[in-house]
Structure formats: structure tokens, C-alpha cells
Amino acid sequence: MVHQTMNTSISKAPRASSKSKVMTVFSRATHAAAIIAFVGLLASCATAPSPRVPSAPPPVADTPRPGDSTALPPPRIQGKSRWVAVPWSELPGFESDALFEAWNAWLKSCERPRPAFANLCGEVRRLSIASGEEQRAWMMNRLQPYRVESPQGQAEGLLTSYYEPVLRASRQSGNGYTVPLYQPPAGLASRKPWFTRQEIDTLPEAQAALRGREIAWLADPIDAMSLHIQGSGRLSITEPNGAQRTVRVAFAGSNEQPFRSITQWLAEQGQGRMTAPWTESTKVWVSQNPQRLPQLLWSNPRYIFFREEALGEQDASYGPRGAEGVALTPGRSIAVDRESIPYGTPVWLASRSASLDLQKLVMAQDTGSAIVGAVRADYFAGTGPEAGLLASRVNQPLRLWALWPK
């Protein structure tokens, strides 16, 4: 899935802060021995269930953890970013995350593993039934954390969020359903610009190329724009026989035109910062300025084409497929600049605002045209209106650590 993000503020966010919790001290020697024994059992039991290690409280925060080393690897240049090796003690909240939630996302990445992680996927699968202490011990033994920075050494960036809308639709136009969602036109070529949004709405040759490619119709053009921005969504659709069912429409291509933020365009019209989710506030503006609706829509020349997918019971708890090719996990998948962080990389994310504090393991599984830069991520909030409300509020400082095989 390739999506865009509607930022409601372009001011620089304040520095993210981290938190630490004082834990009971456990003998480092005993803890290290448990880790070595546990990893040895993993290597010798290819098909056996994950072995258990004695439970133990994590060490005191801000002190070396088992797996930390005084001899850290040198920095790595990873495309647009610079990775700096750090001890595990730098990762805020590492002892308190519910890792089993992230393990579901990791298992998804193992359906299409990248070469760097393919050898670890057997162990990842066995660890899906392990305790959080076992999972943490394995990570510290097998992975090296790297702080992600810009080439200039900037370690702070921006976190935004996206979600999967659920919209009412009709298989036929009429009765208020007038806004089409299209499959890609014949001959659409990757990286080759096609007609702009305005041209698609006004030029006979563009309309002729899309005739017969309609998947469904929506009632509101702002809802359709939301779907174009998020890149996928679910439709509660009315079939010609009156039956109701839910399907997913997923990203299938674009017109390769640049993305422009509608909220930024509204701000340039003197509207100021939007306080409500952008779809709601934009609908209010349109109701007050109906004659300017085309101008608003055409301010974003980028246009998205979709493909319809059946939605099975197993799919219902996951999001659409991201750019990695695997289903997104709510709260545990992020979109990144793939020239900074490769798909399938486990990432430690730390981001704090007045309303949302995140310190957790996530997986780099998607991208977006607005997700550009070394320390930049879009957090997948999930499906439906509650996820949309959360996503609309996220625009805050960010730090990232890539967890790379040793």
C-alpha cells in the first residue's frame, strides 16, 4: 500500500523525551548464562517448541544490559540515513513493551523475508509462543540496535499516522452515489505521469480511458479524497440486488503526479490550522464554500487507482497489504522511506506528545509518497473511525532505532 499523509502542522516538533523505570537488579552473570543456554537450545531444536528460560526481572534501566558490548560496530551508511550502533540501554521502554503484539507483525514479514532476516525467521516463528523475557533475551543476543540519523547527524524526525477508512458505497451510480473509484486504466505505466486530477475530471480522453473501469461509487468527494490519501480502505457496499457486503479496495497504481496536502492548501486560503480530523473540517469548509469544491480537489493533482479484494475472516483483524507485500498490523506496522530503512526491518520507535506516548517495537512494512527522510515514519493506527481519530492527532517528534542482525 502506498499512501500519503495529511499533516496539519508544518512547524518543527519539540524534542521527544524518553522515560525509564527502575527495576529490581538481577545478577548479570546469571542472566547472561540464561541467554546463552536459551539461544543454544534454539539452534539445536529446529522443530521443537521454544525452550523456556528462568524468568528474571530486567536490569536497572540506564545500566548495561546483557547483549550490550563495549566494542560496538562502526556506523553504517544506509541510503539516505546513517546508522550509529548503540547499546541496548539507549532504547527507552525496552523492558516494558508487550513484545508478543509486535511478534504478529514480525511473523507477517517472515512470509516474505528480506535476505538479511531470512535466517532468523525460523527462530522468530518458534519464539511466537515464548515469554516476553525470552523474546527480549533473543533479540539482545541476535540483533544490534542502530540509532537512525540523517547523514548530517540529526536523530530527531517526525511521526505521523494513517489508517484504513470504512465507507459506504454502491455498485451503481445514482441515488446520491456519484463519485467513482477506478481500477487502473489500460496502459498505465509505472513512473510515467498520466493525467492530473483536474484533467481526469474534465478531459474527454481521460474520461474515455476510465469508462468501464469503475469499481464502486461513493457519496462524498471528500471521503473519496480520504481514500486516495490513505491508499486503501473498506467499502460497505450495496450490490445491484440490494445485498450488503464488505470488501477492501487496495492501492493498484497512481497517475504519478505529485501529492499536495489539502490541509496546507486550506491554510494558504486563510483557514488556519484544522482542529478536527481533516475530513470533518474540510466537509464543513465545503458546505460553506460549495462553489470552490473543484478548486480544493484539484489542488492535489495526485490520483489513486484501486483493485478490489475479498475480505475474509482472517483479514478482518489486519490492515491492507503494505509495500512490503504483507498485511499491516494495527499499532505495530509503520511506513518508512525505504531508502533509509529497508522493508522487513524491526524498528524501535520512541515518540511522545501531550496525547500520545509510544515506546515500542514496530516493523517497517510500508511506504508513502509523503514519507521521505531518514527519521520519518507513518504509524498504522488500524481500521475504522476510532483509528482515524487517532491518526488525525499524530504529528509529533520521533526517534528510531533499526534492529539489524549481528
pLDDT in tens, the chain (406 residues): 666 665 433 333 333 333 333 333 333 333 433 444 443 433 333 333 333 333 333 333 445 555 565 689 999 999 999 999 999 999 999 999 999 999 999 999 999 999 999 999 999 999 999 999 999 999 999 999 999 999 999 999 999 999 999 999 999 999 999 999 999 999 898 789 999 999 999 999 999 999 999 999 999 999 999 999 999 999 999 888 989 999 999 999 999 999 999 999 999 988 876 666 889 999 999 999 999 999 999 999 999 999 999 887 767 889 999 999 999 999 999 999 999 999 999 999 999 998 899 999 999 999 998 899 999 999 999 999 999 999 999 999 999 999 999 9
Q: Name the CATH topology of 28-160+321-405.
A: Barwin-like endoglucanases (2.40.40)
Whole-angstrom CA distances from 347 to 297, 358, 365, 392 are 36, 13, 10, 23
Say yes or no: domain 165-317 is CATH 3.40.50.720.
Answer: no
- Contact call for residues 306 and 351 (beta carbons, < 8 A): no
Residue identified by cell 487507482 is 305
Whole-angstrom CA distances from 211 to 60, 87, 214, 300 are 64, 58, 7, 22
The partner residues of 143 in beta bridges, in order of sequence, read 405
3-class DSSP state of 393: helix
Cell of 351: 515518540
Return d(Cα 124, Cα 121) in angstroms, integer.
5
Cell of 118: 531470512
| Domain spans in the chain, listed from the N-terminal domain onward | 28-160+321-405, 165-317
Return d(Cα 27, Cα 54) in angstroms, integer.
13
The partner residues of 405 in beta bridges, in order of sequence, read 143
Radius of gyration (C-alpha) of the chain in whole angstroms = 23
